[in-house]
Structure 1
Amino acid sequence: MITREIAYFEKPGPQNTDDTIRFAVKRAKELEIKYVVVASVSGETGVKAARAFKGTGVKVVVVGHHVGFSKPGARELQEPYIKELQALGAVIVEQTHALSGVERSISRRLGGVSRVEAIAEALRTLVSVGAKVAVECSIMAADGGQVPVDGSTEIIAMGGTYPGADTACVILPAHANNFFDMQIREFIAIPRKKTKE
């Protein structure tokens, strides 16, 4: 039997970011995890994570929205954060979102919902928005070749209820084409309430 501490935040949101990162650093040290994936739209949360993990030997992978997420051709990661992330040795991934992608385009045009979007909604509502984001970013980091997918290497993934981070978990990553090989092995931090009020 294994017992672990889990931090439960009363409400989701950016006010939990610093604590989520702190708990993730602590857990990474305990488990000797060498890869951390963190969702970051502007780059601010990514910079906070990269600073916190500086000097630990942990590879920080910052996953942003894909270019064109908000409007065609627009990149949401901000240049000052990009420069600092690069200076801190973090890796940036911006690619098609694993739990929406082309299927979102079909739903918007033709209506209905896809199976992939149903998975995303189940994670979002049953677990937390941050858990959905952490799972999605783990897939994107794996598909971008930035974390190992070998069936044994665990990573820590962080996501949140935009902006910031309020969920951190230990994940056995998988590629999008083998989604059901992924395992959420531990929650480190998670909000008790699932929606902002």
Structure 2
Amino acid sequence: MVCQACGAAVGEGVHFCSRCGAQVVAAQPMAGQPVYANYPPPMYKPAPRVQRNLQLLGILWCAFGAFRLLGGLMAMFFVKMMWFGRFGDNWEFGHHGGPFGPQWMAALLPVIMVAAVLASALALLVGYALLTRRPWGRVLAIVVSVLSLLKFPFGTALGIYTLWVLAPATSGMEYDAIADRS
């Protein structure tokens, strides 16, 4: 006899499988009918981890890129309004840029904008590479996810999720197979 749950061989007269503990029911074949109890049941085989998560990763990276660009634009707007006195005369720093001076802050605005655009462009590029299954997408995603770990909380969560999906060596082989099919 064979256990219907795990397919292990079970002796006659045994009521429970010694391998999985399932109750063994003796098969009573009808005359002329084949005995299917001797075959192991088909096992559900889920899709591999990279294949299951690649589409979601691509979408999340695109959304994160848009989020980073919006955050950079808001930071640039806030710095400009705060340091150049656009909040009114009653604002603590007034029209003269506060204790640091408007020259220093004027030089900071392009830096904020360039950093925001570069960070969002990298995130959007990772999203594009993962969605279109580019061969270089996995390496770029791992590098950018390590960099995004510092951007708490969303960048950290997305970086950990990306590393969990793409960093193992088996994931590399699976991603390469997916990229080759595309």
The structure that has the greater radius of gyration is 2
Q: Same fold judged by TM-score > 0.5? A: no
TM-score by length of 1: 0.24
Between Structure 1 and Structure 2, the one with more helix by share is: 2
Where relative contact order (Cα < 8 A, 6+ residues apart) is larger, the structure is 1
Between Structure 1 and Structure 2, the one with more strand by share is: 1
